[in-house]
Chain A
Amino acid sequence: MQRLTRLLLGAATLALASPVLAEDSSDPIVIPIHNWSSQIVMSNVVGQIFEGMGNSVEYVSTDSQAVYEAVRLGDATLELEVWEGAFGASFRAAVEKGGIHDVTTHNAVTREDWWYPMWTKEACPGLPDWQALNECAALFATPETGEKGRFLGGPVDWLKHDQEKVDALGMNFVVVNAGSAAALWAEIAAAEKDKTPIVLFNWTPNFAEAVWPGEFVNFPEWVEGCDKDPAVGPIPDKVYDCGNPANGYLKIAAWDGMKDKWPGAYAALQKVNFTNAQIAEMAKLVDIDGMEPEDAATAWLEANEAVWTSWTE
């Protein structure tokens, strides 16, 4: 009992003292990491910047959708890559519940859509136009899709509405959903061996663009409401008769309590900003050069001091 009282007293003193001193708490800042390399390296980069400022940092591996709930509850402190297309819904839902907020937006833009590696263009020169793609549909035929071309979509739980797009634009394609991102990469790697034409779901920024140069398919441009209102978009009676937004946001989100607990780190976080090229570079250090994420982060910080030193002031 006595011990508990002492603890409570201690906590109370700390709580009283900290706003006055405005010093960062000595508790570790918990940075969540996911299963793709640019996010892991970026987390390590920011983590090492925080450590340079005297904070202690811990990394915890979490699911990329469930993380917003963890940040909201303070179990994790921040999230450095909030993709509009992939995580926008989870993020907005968490913001509505409270506890998490939008800190800043990277200069990098994100795009997720139908994509093909460059060798596909040799077989179907009209690309990247979607109508040209449709005329080449037979090139993409597989035993299970018969006459029609195969579009390899991401896992169903990514909810990308590819089937709706095929229906709306009347395309000669069948959507086959891969079960994981790794399955997508394995398919590209296999297609590369004999330069088989392939069209599949992909996104940027991503390490794949450095390994396999390629382009997005140009669909009718995204217009707000094209996914809900049949009148919007080129086909008058269909929804999803358009591509995905070509410049989605990439945000940084943080736990509401971070501002008070680690004011110094929070101030730095507000200035953190990466571009597509920088993110691709981080991914490349790991995926192509084979470095460990921690070492890649250190290397990136050394090579790009001009970029980040101003953030810590």
Chain B
Amino acid sequence: MMATTLPQPPFRLDQKRIAQAILLAALVLVVFRGVLPAGLVRLPGALVLPFADWINAGFDFARDDLGLMTFTRAFSDVVEFCLDVTANLLYGKSRWPHVGPIPWVVIAATAGMAGYALGGLRLGVLAGGTFVWIAVMGQWKWAMETLSVIVVAVPFSVIFGLLMGVLAWRYRMAERILNPILNIAQSLPHFAYMIPVVVFIGVGPKAGAIVTIIFSVPPMIRMSLLGLRAVSPEIIESGKMSGTTRLQLMTRVRLPAARTEILIGVNQVIMQSLAMVVLASFIGMPGLGQKLLQLLQGLKIGLSVEIGVTIVLLAIVLDRLSKAWALKQPEHVEGSWLRRHRVLAVWLGLVALGFVAAWSHPYFAEVERKQALSMAGPVDAVVGGFIDLIDPVTDWLRWFLITWVLIPLRNAFLWLPTTAVLLALVGVGWRIGGWRSALVCLAFALPIALSGWWDRAMITAYTVFVAVALALMIGVPLGLLGAANETRARRFLLVCDTAQTFPSFIYLIPVIMLFGVNDVAVIAAVMVFATVPIVRYTIEGLRSIPPEIVESAQMSGASAGQLLRHVKLPLAVPTLVVGANQSIMFALFMVIIAAFIGTQDLGQEMQRALSSTDVGKGLVLGLAVAFMGLMADHLLLKWARNHEAAMGR
């Protein structure tokens, strides 16, 4: 390539120079830390702004003067009515309509038939089998308590998300307002949502349902907006030609045409709702999550693993069902009623059979805890054996990591002058995306410094940094191993799915038993969670490389190692970076939960804010976490895009 045909754009060079100058200035601040005025090491107290008080004043105004409370109470009454109905049907709470509980055989048969209708025999067996598992393991009542909330939360979330999506699609302004809100909402730690809900709604199942709705709505908004955008103009044109009104055009043409995206949105809503099962039980959601926390309180690992398995199975079944629904195109069958509604007829028959079975023997109505099967004993033995086995190693590992890695690193993070960190972030931003990115970094980092939570934020950053670094060291080789062939890749991805939906609280306990209450335990817990996206994206990245490229490299005589180093990895880098980005997001979520081990970071303060229902403090802390995530997200994605553009893909 000749320089004349592809001139290096001059601003490129400037961008690099400016970035270097800024980074150098940051380095100077670090080197001369000893002689820096105190105001540059940490921002002076006068600059710390009382964000929390402002937010609290805003909330008080909304609650007391605007009367938002009447509105939220009215809304929560509607939700509560729906919850009472599902609670009666699913587990027989004494509320209107007083017909429940539906026997478990009937629900299992219904799930099985739904699976069969949407995805054939295998899905049918999976869906039916999951409910049979729940019943025979004696978890029926808890699972139904959980489902009674999810069954209410999901439709609310879907309708609300669809409406907001249509609004954003219709009005540019709405989209501009919604977009940053959604970005922040999706990176805000779960606990930050809960505090306002406790203030406005109180605690109990309805609070659990509402926090689930709030948490699961953002992907629905995004997917419906995406779907509506993608409808081809020809379809709209033909709709208009048939003389539809605007409402008809929306309900009969646009929405059905965007069906697939909308249903993927529904799928996301369901997944997010299940992710909230355990956390929402902190504010009164009954069911599996609440039971799980109770069992962990008594160190009953085996029994909690059983519940964890149920949550994973429910997630997999609902995921597969909703995906099958999204992919299934409407079909038309000719013939008699029975022929057209074969599945429906079989289902009705099974339901009738189920009711008869439940009526003839109580086992088919409800399996009592005494009759339940359990695998808790073996699980406890395995976990105990594992801990005993690696206990000698962990003692040494713990000592080594704490004395030689973690304490020095943590002190270093805390030692850095605030101004140097801010300047360095601006420099990195400038290097990657010019002055825009530099400004974005400053806009995210400066509020954290001004909030007065800098030290705690640095501890969070240090934890996430170490955990993600370790996750990369473990996850990338695992991903390489997994990508070797298609079957193995599928297996690895299934493990990733499972690890992602498995309630993270469960492994906090074994981790404490291994390492004790200290940073090693916290980092180990965060790392386990943060490794999952890295493995996943490494596999995806390697799989997405066009086979022609691999073949041509092989033909030019590259060895397997060369192929990996010079061809596959460089091509997979952008995907890997997206994985690292996801990993940081996961780590930020988990680091907050790791406060239950015992930390001194933002998570610990968040826990305190939740127990004293301090909305302002909780939101400030939550935003600090969200801003860290969004900054990393911006930088990494920008870098990945540049890299892709440079490779001409």
Contacts and interface: CB of A to CB of B under 8 A. Distances in A.
Contacts of A58: 93
B435 interface: no
A193 interface: yes
Interface stretch (B48-56, B270-278, B332-340, B397-405): B397-405
List the 9 closest pairs (A to B, CB-CB), nearest first.
A186-B512, A143-B402, A179-B598, A190-B513, A179-B596, A180-B596, A178-B598, A157-B608, A157-B611
Given A60-B205, A179-B517, 16 more contacts: A61-B286, A62-B284, A65-B611, A75-B204, A143-B518, A144-B518, A152-B517, A176-B518, A177-B604, A179-B596, A179-B597, A179-B599, A180-B596, A183-B598, A186-B299, A190-B512
Interface stretch (B6-14, B99-107, B290-298, B475-483): B290-298
8 contacts: A40-B294, A60-B205, A143-B399, A143-B403, A176-B517, A178-B517, A185-B297, A193-B388
B418 interface: no
B391 A193 contact: yes
A194 B612 CA distance: 38
B299 A179 contact: no
A75 B205 CA distance: 12
B281 A61 contact: yes
Nearest to B388: A193
Interface string A125-159: 00000000000000000111000000010011100
B20 interface: no
B interface residue count range (under 10 / 10 to 19 / 20 to 34 / 35 or more) = 35 or more
Contacts of B293: 35
Contacts of A61: 281, 284, 286, 290
Nearest to A190: B513
Interface in B281-318: 281-284, 286, 290, 293-294, 296-300
A51 to B, nearest CB: 12
Interface in A277-307: 286-287, 290, 292, 295
Interface in A212-254: none
B294 A37 contact: yes
A28 B519 contact: no
Interface string A62-90: 11011000100001000000000000000
Contacts of B399: 143
Interface string A167-178: 000000000111
Contacts of A178: 517, 597-598
Contacts of B611: 63, 65, 157
A187 interface: yes
Interface string B380-421: 000000011001000000110011000100000000000000
B447 interface: no
A173 to B, nearest CB: 15
Interface in B568-583: none
B203 interface: yes
Contacts of B595: 179
A62 B513 contact: no
A53 interface: no
A267 interface: no
B509 interface: yes
Contacts of A65: 611-612
Nearest to B402: A143
A56 B98 CA distance: 15
Contact of A66 (B203, B516, B519): B203
A207 B607 CA distance: 25
Interface of B: 93-94, 198, 202-205, 281-284, 286, 290, 293-294, 296-300, 369-370, 387-388, 391, 398-399, 402-403, 407, 508-509, 512-514, 516-519, 594-599, 604, 607-608, 611-613
A182 B299 contact: yes
B327 to A, nearest CB: 38
A60 B284 contact: yes
Contacts of A207: 298
A15 interface: no
Contacts of B198: 66
A89 B228 CA distance: 54
Given A176-B517, A193-B391, A182 B607 contact: no
A287 B598 contact: no
A28 B608 contact: no
Interface residues of A, number: 43
Contact of B297 (A36, A70, A143, A292): A36
A187 B510 CA distance: 10
Contacts of B519: 144
B597 A183 contact: yes
A177 B300 CA distance: 22
Contacts of A22: none
Contacts of A75: 202, 204
Nearest to B605: A156
A249 B294 CA distance: 25
A189 interface: yes
Contacts of A290: 300
B80 to A, nearest CB: 11
A9 interface: no
A179 B296 contact: no
Contact of A143 (B370, B398, B509): B398
A89 to B, nearest CB: 11
Given A63-B283, A143-B399, A157-B608, A183 B296 contact: no
A156 B604 contact: yes
Contact of A187 (B282, B294, B517): B517
A187 B203 CA distance: 31
Contacts of A185: 297-299
B517 A157 contact: no
A61 B288 CA distance: 12
B517 A183 contact: yes
A250 B110 CA distance: 49
A12 interface: no
Nearest to A286: B298
A180 B522 CA distance: 13
A79 B235 CA distance: 62
A39 to B, nearest CB: 11
B402 A144 contact: yes
Nearest to A181: B297
A181 B598 CA distance: 10
A37 B298 contact: yes
Nearest to A185: B299
Nearest to B289: A61
A290 B607 CA distance: 30
A70 B204 CA distance: 10
A156 B297 contact: no
Contacts of A187: 512-513, 516-517
A58 B91 CA distance: 13
B266 to A, nearest CB: 29
A65 B613 CA distance: 10
Given A56-B94, A62-B284, A142 B299 contact: no
Contact of B509 (A66, A155, A186, A286): A186
Residue among B202, B399, B403 with max Cβ neighbours from chain A (10 Å): B202
B607 to A, nearest CB: 7
A287 B513 CA distance: 18
B516 A142 contact: yes
B607 A189 contact: no
Given A157-B607, A183-B517, A177 B598 contact: yes
B604 A189 contact: no
